[in-house]
Amino acid sequence: MKRLFPSLPEDATLGNVFQMFPGKLSLWCQYESLVMRGESELSASERELIAAYVSGLNACSYCHEAHTVFARAYGIICRHSFGVFKLRSDDKNFAVA
């Protein structure tokens, strides 16, 4: 985040970016709602699972933690094991390396 926004502190989060650009928050929320909760062949839990995994790959702890919380709320069980992101739900097994 610091690389993209040098004026932010080193430990900046997405919340800090929204504070810098408050007019963009409503647009982001509309986009996020469409992608994460709009019509899709993927369930909300599958979308949160993907978002949590990709956020982890991107090393964005803010997004990773947020999407992990939602994935768990939708019934996905997330664990880190030896650098491999493993996930399991009650009716399906996921292993993402």
Helices (H), 1-97: 14-20, 25-37, 44-57, 61-73
pLDDT of residue 78: 64
- Global pTM value: 0.65
pLDDT of residue 76: 82
User: pLDDT tens digit string along 38-87?
Assistant: 999 999 988 998 998 888 888 788 888 899 899 889 888 766 533 444 54
Please, which residues have CB within 8 angstroms of residue 77's CB and are 6 or more apart in sequence?
87, 88, 89
User: pLDDT tens digit string along 30-50?
Assistant: 999 999 999 999 999 889 989
Please, which residues have CB within 8 angstroms of residue 65's CB and are 6 or more apart in sequence?
none
